[in-house]
Amino acid sequence: MSTTELLDPTSERRPAARQRVTRPSSLKGLTVGLLDISKPRGDVFLDRLEELLSGRGVEVLRFRKPTFTKPAPVDLRYEIRVKCDAVVEALAD
């Protein structure tokens, strides 16, 4: 008996491990983006979140994906990155 050689059916790559941005210790003075992925009732959740954050003096910006079935467009991701210090994405059903 000998070893069998098989051919790898995968892409032979792992997505480069990305380092997460460190979590802010406080939201004071920061801008938080709220991303609605366009699922029904996602806005209900985010409206309440906006209320709570604004009540604590946090600046809130709202964003919305055109459709929940596709990744966020590059421009939208860029806009969130340059305008916000943190982001909350609402997955709702």
CB of 10 or CB of 22, closer to other proteins: 10
Q: For residue 1, which amino acid is it?
A: M
Sequence-separated (6 or more) residues with CB below 8 Å from residue 12: none
CB nearer other proteins, residue 41 or residue 62: 41
Query: Nearest distance from residue 59's CB to other proteins, in Å?
Result: 31
Q: Decide: is 75 part of the binding site for other proteins (CB under 8 A).
A: no
Cβ closer to other proteins: 10 or 26?
A: 10
**Is residue 3 a contact point for other proteins (CB under 8 A)?**
yes
C-alpha distances in angstroms, 47 versus 41, 42, 62? 10, 9, 9
What are the residues binding other proteins (CB under 8 A)?
1-13, 15, 66-67, 69-71, 93
